[in-house]
Amino acid sequence: MLFAHPLIAVEDDKPWVMSFSFGAAYSTMYPEISIFKNNRNPKIQKALGLNLEYHISDKRYIGLGFTRHEGSYNLDDEIILGQYPVGVRLDNYRQTWAYDYFELSYRRSFDNRLNLTAGFFYYLDYTNFSVVTARYEPNILFVFGRDKPRSDDFGLSLALGYSLPLRDYMKLGLRSKLYYTLAGIESISLAPYISFSF
């Protein structure tokens, strides 16, 4: 108890907090519609985060953050178009997807080492997609590309975290986070993090 107050006082004197996180996210997105029968939609993704917060008052912070959820797998598949004498074969093709979240947040920490964060985010959806279209039959164009950002590009997030002080300027913690958009719950993540006050 003799050391608790000085540690808190030193942290409060530092106006900035930088945190890094790496964990996993569970996607609630619907499976992709694909012309390939072996196309999958894995639910578990990597979650990487970087946040910079400013200490505005006692136990209250505002911040800017960037989070990426991403995943990939190798796809071996083929498709034969019955109406045209053409086929496409994928050999060890790398199917990738990623979601970038840019967030403005408000965090409140509590004496029991818990903290609650609410945020407003804008996000971009980068997912490989493939289509087959006919141009001037029987010419066939097979296209690989990146999906356009979705129409519901904005959303709200809510996170609950728990941290342990390692030094007067460093904490180690665990944070769970929920992402909600107009389409519903997008994903839920769980990630260990480390933060530095300066």
The full set of domains in the chain, from first to last, is: 4-99+106-114+122-197 (2.40.160)
The string of pLDDT tens digits covering residues 6-55 is: 444 444 578 999 999 999 999 887 555 566 666 666 788 999 999 999 99
pLDDT over 70 (residue 151) = no
> Do 154 and 141 touch, CB atoms closer than 8 A?
no
Of 6-10, 176-180, 181-185, the range with the highest mean pLDDT is 176-180
The winner for highest mean pLDDT among 23-27, 42-46, 90-94, 151-155 is 23-27
Contacts by 106-114, CB closer than 8 A, 24 or more apart: 106/60, 106/61, 106/62, 106/63, 107/53, 107/60, 107/61, 107/62, 107/63, 108/59, 108/60, 108/61, 109/59, 109/60, 109/61, 110/59, 113/162, 113/163, 113/164, 114/160, 114/161, 114/162
**107-142: buried (b, 16+ CB within 10 Å) or exposed (e) per residue?**
bebeeeeebebebebebbbebbbbeeeeeeeeebee
Q: Which pTM was predicted?
A: 0.81
Instruction: Please write the tens of the pLDDT for every residue from 47-77.
Output: 999 999 999 998 999 999 999 999 888 878 8
Task: State the average pLDDT over residues 161-168.
Answer: 95
